[in-house]
Amino acid sequence: MLEHYLPIFMMILGGVLFGIVMVKLNEWLGPRRPTEEKLTTYESGMEPVRTARERFSVKFYMVAVLFILFDIEVVFMYPWAVAFRELGIIGFVSMTVFILILLIGLFYVWRKGALEWD
Amino acid sequence: MELQTYLLLSAVTFIIGVVGVLARRNAIIVFMSIELMLNSVNLTLVAFSAYLGDVTGQMLVFFVMTVAAAEAAIGLAIIIALFRNKQTVNLDDINILKW
Amino acid sequence: METLVADIWRSTPLVLLTLVGLIALLVEGSGKGRAAAVYWISLVGTIASFVLSFLSLNTEEAAFNDMILQGGYAAFFGMIFTASAFGTLILSRSYLRRLHTERGEFYVLIVFAAIGMMLMASAIDLIILFLGIEVMSICLYVLVGFLRTKLTANESALKYFLLGAFTTGFLLYGIALIYGTVGSTSFRAISAAFPAVSNQPLFLLGAAMLVIAFSFKVAAVPFHMWAPDVYEGAPTPITAFMSTGTKAAAFAAFVGVFLGAFQIAGSKLSEVIALAAAASMIIGNVVAISQSNLKRMLAYSSIAHAGYMLSGISAANREGETGILFYLATYTLMNLGAFGVLSWVEQKDDTKLTFDDYAGFSAQQPFLAALLSIFLFSLAGIPPFAGFFGKYYVFLAAVKADLTWLAIIGVLTSVVSVYYYLRLVMMMYFQPGGATVEEPPAQMAFIAVTCAAILVVLFGIYPSLIVDLTKEFLNI
């Protein structure tokens, strides 16, 4: 069984080796003349203003959490959509209730101001 | 591939998760280990589901995924609340309550 | 369509409480300063759900494609959960108002946690069981850490969350293995397949994982370490809720799986549970003696009580199941009451929670001291209070199942427990001091706790009032 995979393993090994060899050759052979301009962070031509390693505002977290919560619920809609015809009216009513509950959650989140940026 | 292979893989992943929870001291990494445990269970469920030709296991996987997302939201909120008060997420520094 | 309507009609206690929770959430979202409205809506919802549960006690039916069971067992536990949520709501109101942090979400989360508990008790499928546990736990994680500017609250919330999520992993792995060996997650299928699979290593591993997960949820040794820390750091009404509603829900699921889906009488699983019961009784009671903080003392006492009830599961007979149901119903009343009085004496900055702070309490507040004494006597299992009969039933069950050693440990450790419960009573009545409450308790909370005390005495004198309710629907 495993021997069928031998060519793939060879391929992976070859790929990894080739990559490492190329990077290392570049390091050894290429000339290095660092200037201050070259060492700065590349920001598509803009002048970098300050360090990139700073804390994010907690507002990003709020958006991310809401995104996760509402995004993951879509997972229930795929199987429902696939089996929609077989499920008939019960499936439709159930999904309507499900979405209504989600909407109540959204309403709460919205009115509490979690969707406002400021 | 047979069922055993998947079960073995998921058991190993589960144990890696358990060891991570017990050995690591950073709350976020502990939490990631827990997510690893949940996902290894998902693998077990899908393997059994395919093996048995029964859809219940896959259905349970959907529920596990959504619950894990809800847990992630709550867990990160708790960790952030703690960080705001204490400026650390290291579990060894979290020690006011003890007998 | 007719089946859907019929299913919803059968599950009215659950559906109604869910609707009430959603309406409360809408009201809370609709504007500022709606906490009082949310409180009243939640309160009415729990009462209505309690009444509906009581009415459906005699009709036990499966609903939603054999996913949940309504009436009977589920209704009995529904009454416990709604009563616990009701008491918690009332205690929370005055507690939060004193701290000036009243927010409607607190009440909504209590209602949703109660819904999760009801799902756990009505589950006849492992998927619903898992969902119930998670609905309850996720609400509780938030409730425990609700006072988010307090470091102790953050800390206990983080501990509860990390350990709770960790056990969720074990629970799920157990469910996955059982599903793999049985080929189904429904209790009926598991019960039918049990004789054939009960010796397969994968099935036993799955069952062992479930024992771990449930032991954690009921706070039984050796998975009890979270309980004292979490109980101490949580807001006191939530501590009361966790030690009553959550514990009852965990036991409802434990009994449902191990006495309903499995037949564990005389098996290795029963021995494992007996060992956990003995360890919980010994460690809970012995460590409780050395506690000075009353919330921690009651936490260890709740570990010990989990041990008493586990001996009922380990016995796996009809007496055991009756005993657990009776025990949980009365334990809910006495623990809610005890924590209620504690929450009135407690100061805003988490002080006045030690034994010494109760010196001379009976001189200042004779009625409250009497109430607290009733709850403590009942917890200690002294007749004629209800706690005595709970212990009597579970130990009787253990003796009938040839687990006499377990019953002996239970009786001996109960004697040990008298020491620390009565120490508080002695402190209140025989030590001079000026202990009193910060401000007089809110009228409703006061009435609720008084009613709990009356019921503790009533069920102690007439235990058949509860036992007769349980006769119709027992699994064994």
For the stretch C289-331, pLDDT in tens is 999 999 999 999 999 999 999 999 999 888 899 999 999 999 9
Residue C61 per-residue DSSP state = E
CB contacts, 8 Å: C3 with chain A: 90
Question: Helix C386-400 and helix C366-380: axis angle, to 10°?
Answer: 0
With CA atoms as reference, report the closest residue to C313 among C371, C272, C359: C272
Nearest to C26 among A93, A94, A107 (CB): A107
Domain assignment present for residue C122? The answer is no
Percent of chain C with pLDDT over 90: 74
Q: Quick check: B77 contacting A, CB < 8 Å?
A: yes
What's the CA gap between C272 and C280, in Å, rounded? 12
More confident position, C95 or B99:
C95
A31 and A68, same domain (yes or no): no
Residues paired with C293 in a beta bridge: C354
Q: CA distances (Å), C267 to each of A38, C273, C327, C372, in order?
A: 73, 10, 24, 41
Nearest beta carbon to residue C155 from set B44, B45, B97: B97
Confidence category of residue C476, pLDDT binned at 50, 70, 90: low
Domain residues for the domain of C320 are 264-476
Q: Is residue B96 scored above 80 in pLDDT?
A: no
- Residues 6+ positions from C42 with CB-CB distance below 8 Å: C20, C21, C24, C85, C89, C107, C108, C110, C111
Taken as a whole, chain C contains a residue count of 476
DSSP state of A48: P
Q: Which H or E run includes B50?
A: helix B27-52
CB C235 within 8 A of CB C143: yes
C236 in Cβ contact with C342 (< 8 Å): yes
Considering only CB atoms, B76 lies closest to which of A61, A72, A73, namely: A61
Instruction: Report the pLDDT value the prediction gives residue C375, as an integer from 0 to 100.
Output: 95
* The residue to which tokens 């736990």 are assigned: C137
Q: Which residues contact C34 (CB under 8 A, 6 or more apart)?
A: C27, C28, C104
Distance CA A53, CA C30 (A): 40
- What is the average per-residue pLDDT within C378-393? 92
Residue of C351 and C415 predicted with greater confidence = C415
3 state DSSP class of C384: coil
Say how many C-beta atoms besides its own lie within 10 A of residue C353's C-beta: 20
Ordered by where they begin, the domains of chain B are 3-91 (1.10.287.3510)
The pLDDT confidence band at residue C475, using thresholds 50, 70 and 90, is low
Question: What is the structure's pLDDT at C31?
Answer: 85
User: Is residue C359 in a domain?
Assistant: yes
Q: Are C167 and C257 in contact (CB under 8 A)?
A: no
Chain A contacts of C107, Cβ < 8 Å? none
Separation between Cα atoms, residue A42 and residue C2, nearest integer Å: 65
- Confirm or reject contact between B30 and chain C (CB < 8 A): yes
Q: Which of B67, B87, B90 to mutate to test the interface with C (most CBs of C within 10 A)?
A: B67
Query: C2, C3, C4: which to substitute to probe chain A, counting the most A Cβ within 10 Å?
Result: C4
Average pLDDT of span C45-58: 93
The whole domain housing A79 covers 58-111
CB-nearest partner of A69 from B59, B62, B70: B70
CB-count burial class (<10 Å; 0-12, 13-18, 19+) for B68: buried
| 3-class secondary-structure state, position A115 | coil
Give the pLDDT confidence score for residue B99 in this predicted structure: 46
Contact with chain A for residue B72, Cβ under 8 A: yes
Contact residues for C60 (Cβ-Cβ < 8 A; gap 6+): C69, C70, C71, C72, C73, C74, C472, C473
pLDDT at res. A1? 60
In A, which residues are within 8 Å of C25 by CB distance? 104-105, 108
Q: C268 or C178: whose pLDDT is higher?
A: C178
The percentage of chain B sitting over the pLDDT mark of 70, rounded to a whole number, equals 95
Residue C182 has pLDDT above 80, yes or no: yes
- Measure Cα distances from C87 to C338, C345, C391 in Å: 12, 17, 24
- When divided into structural domains, chain C yields a total of 1
Q: What does the mean pLDDT of chain C come to?
A: 92
CATH of the domain at A85: 1.20.58.1610
Average pLDDT over residues C247-261: 94
Count: domains in chain A: 2
- The reply to whether B66 touches chain A by the CB within 8 Å rule is yes
Segment C144-167 mean pLDDT: 92
Q: Can you tell me which residue has the tokens 């406002």?
A: A116
B78–C contact, CB cutoff 8 A:
yes
Closest chain C residue to A89, measured at CA: C1
Can you give the pLDDT at residue C474?
Answer: 72
**CB-nearest partner of B48 from C151, C168, C180:** C180
DSSP-derived pairing of the beta strands C68-70 and C61-63: antiparallel
Alpha-carbon gap: A49 to the closest alpha carbon of chain B (Å)? 27
Q: Binning pLDDT at 50, 70 and 90, where does residue C246 land?
A: very high
The 10s digit of each residue's pLDDT in B21-62 is: 999 889 999 999 999 999 999 999 999 999 999 999 999 999
Query: Are A72 and B77 a contacting pair at CB < 8 A?
Result: no
B98 to chain A, minimum CA–CA distance in Å?
A: 31
Residue A96 sits in the same domain as residue A67: yes
- When pLDDT is averaged across residues C447-467 and rounded to a whole number, the result is 93
For the segment A62-91, the average pLDDT, to the nearest whole number, is 89
Whether A46 maps to a domain, the answer reads no
State both tokens at A40.
């700065």
Chain A residues within an 8 Å CB radius of B73: 65, 68-69
Instruction: Flag whether C322 is in a domain.
Output: yes
Q: Report the first-to-last Cα separation within chain B, whole angstroms.
A: 51
B34 to chain C: which residues are within 8 Å by CB? 162, 165-166, 168-169
The answer to whether position A53 is within a domain reads no
Which of C154, C169, C291 has the CB atom closest to B85's CB atom?
A: C154
Check: CB of residue C148 under 8 Å from CB of residue C154: yes
Greatest mean pLDDT range, C49-58, C108-117, C152-161: C108-117
| Nearest residue in chain B measured CA to CA from C140 | B74
Q: Token digits for C1? A: 């369509």
Angle made by CA atoms C5, C9, C10, in degrees to the nearest 5: 120
Mean pLDDT of chain A: 85
Q: What's the CA gap between C333 and A47, in Å, rounded?
A: 68
